[in-house]
Amino acid sequence: MNLQKLRSDFPGLHQDVHGKTLVYLDNAATMQKPRAVLDAMEKYFVEDCANVHRGVHLLSERATKSFEAVRGKIAKFIGSKDANEVVFTKGVTDAINLVAHSFGRKHLEKGQEIIISGMEHHSNIVPWQILAEEKGLTLKVVPVTDRGELDLEAYAKMIGPKTGLVSMVWVSNALGTVNPVKQIVDLAKAHDVPVMFDGAQALPHVPIDVEAIGCDFFAGSGHKCYGPTGAGFLWGKKKRLESMPPYQGGGDMIVSVTFEKSTYREPPARFEAGTPNIAGIIGLGAAIDYLGSIDLAAARAHEDDVTRYCAEQLSQTAGIKLVGTPTQRAGAVSFVMDDIHPHDIGTILDREGVAIRTGHHCAQPLMARMHVPATARASFGIYNTREEVDVLVGGLKKVRELMG
């Protein structure tokens, strides 16, 4: 893999901040975009700017063709054989809410249980809490070990006749933990329980094959995978999507409308009311095309090497303690430093040109479990380097000097 060539594809990496060369290590929050994504979105706005599905003129036809082609690209990327199992959403949060308020409202009954884990992002907690309160459901939480891994024995004991759904994160945004998704599904399927995965962090970092794994739903976000914000998807098994009522009503999701009654289109259109984020979806398709144009296995191996190197270097740096030491890690390393607040760490690093994320990472229950109010998090993409990790470590030593 030609790393220098790959880095040249991402214009956002090549800038100075506060007079220092940018070291961008906030990829779990959002990733930089390759020129191919920016060009695809600009082409839509400049040459094909029209609404999709509705128009008979050439611009609308071209926009619709580009837009609809993305379903097939996503399906192939995640191992689905049916492009119509891909529903376009604003992102993972939108997709989880869709499942909660469509599948959940119809198929889950009072007294049933939803199983999540103790390492979930708030987007995979709050929608289920809202649904549970509305329908009289119980939310059960699989505990997390001191290493930041799922307690699979506890999970196996939780599943039973009352379990209506399992919804878990594939890769933790806060710790980088890669969960054993096949085991999660197999244990659930033994009880005929459907499984959903929050794939926001999995999508850019690990190979995904939804059919081989056997899950029922998988959600992804474009901006976590080198694409634009506000564009993502829900993949669902055909039989699941067909059993679900519309989540929102409006244009383009109907067969017919009268003042007495409306009828709805088959999935995925049933769940895509109104004008979509056309440019964003086209940009998401371009991001997938870009990943298909490079040696993705080599790029991910390089990224894994940089992530491991970061964990090793931080663990050997005075005053730093890693938060979470999972056996399988992807894309992120969380840490604390003496009694220095993570926000102070992030602020000082910014002046050194290093961009990281600090705070609770929308995972407050996980922070409580790990006995910290917040962490500093370095997170990686295929374009990051060991040399950038060295700059991070040097910046952290300066943090200690300044903060005592």
Residue numbers annotated as active site = 362
Q: Which residue has the tokens 């594939």?
A: 170
* CA–CA separation, 295 and 2 (whole Å): 10
* CA–CA separation, 78 and 52 (whole Å): 25
All residues at 6 or more sequence positions from 220 whose CB lies less than 8 Å from its CB, including other chains: 74, 78, 92, 95, 199, 200, 202, 203, 232, 233, 235
164 and 113 in contact (C-beta within 8 Å)?
A: yes
Which two three-digit tokens encode residue 83? 């492009």
3-state DSSP assignment of residue 225: coil
Closest CA to 109 of 163, 156, 190: 163
Helix then strand then coil, in percent of the chain rounded to 5, is 45, 20, 35
* Sheet of 232-236, strand order: 86-89, 232-236, 217-221, 195-198, 163-169, 113-117, 138-142
* CA–CA separation, 256 and 71 (whole Å): 25
Calculated CA dihedral for residues 7, 8, 13, 14, nearest 10 degrees: 140
* CA–CA separation, 105 and 125 (whole Å): 16
399 and 345 in contact (C-beta within 8 Å)?
A: yes
149 and 122 in contact (C-beta within 8 Å)?
A: no
Which two three-digit tokens encode residue 141? 């939480």
Query: Residue 337's CB: how many other CB atoms inside 10 A?
Result: 21
All residues at 6 or more sequence positions from 284 whose CB lies less than 8 Å from its CB, including other chains: 70, 74, 222, 225, 227, 228, 231, 232, 233
